[in-house]
Amino acid sequence: MSRPPRARESVLDAYEDVVIADGPAAATMDAVARAAGVSKGGLLYHFASKDALQSAVIERMSSRGVAEMADVAASPVGAIAAFMRSSIMHNTPFDRTIVTVSRLAQNGDAVASDALRRLRDVWEETLRPHTRDETALQLVMLVSDGLYFNNALSTGSVPGPDLDDDALAALIALVERSAA
């Protein structure tokens, strides 16, 4: 916990960069070292194995996820609208981390899948009091999942939103009418 060294964090950033740009298959230790601007030996000083790198980014997601959720719950525009807005990618640190972990999960990493499911469960708990019933809660969660999935599909970078601002506002209004 305490505070991780700067160098470690920037290696982790580089790892996310490569996974987001080219997928987990391309995120070799060599590629990550190159992206981080260190040698492979330098990388391995901070993360003794590829597994350690993956674990670290999964932990990073969970801790950033908790912070994000606190923001959503406290938002003046209301939890549902804030949650939906947070579900479209803006290339924030948390966006980058969750896309990375999603890709690891799809690639067969069971630890990543579990962490995502746990995070999703916590979000569900947070939003439950803001929805009129379980069906409405599922609607909100699934629309959010859909937004994430679509954004995560594009390779090359974290894409901007597929919906423009007006379309997103209309969608939020529709979901709130249906679910709040």
Rg (CA), the chain: 17
| Number of amino acids touching a second copy (CB under 8 A) | 44
Q: Scanning residues 85 to 114, which ones bind a second copy (CB under 8 A)?
A: 102-103, 105-110, 113
Q: From a second copy, DNA, none, which one binds at residue 100 (CB under 5 to 8 Å depending on kind)?
A: none
Using the rule CB under 8 A, is 165 a contact of a second copy? no
Closest Cα to residue 150, out of 140, 160, 141?
160
In a 10 Å sphere around its CB, with 0-12 CB exposed, 13-18 middle and 19+ buried, how is residue 5 labelled?
A: exposed
150 binding partner (options a second copy, DNA, none; Cβ < 5 to 8 Å by kind): a second copy
Tokens found for residue 43:
């990388």
Those residues with Cβ within 8 angstroms of residue 166's Cβ, 6 or more apart along the chain or in another chain: none
Report 14-33 residues binding a second copy (CB under 8 A): 22-26
x/- mask, DNA, residues 22-51, rule CB under 7 A, reads: ------xxx--x----xxxxxxxxx-xxxx
Cα dihedral sign, 133-171-64-57: positive
Q: Which residues bind DNA (CB under 7 A)?
A: 5, 7, 28-30, 33, 38-46, 48-51
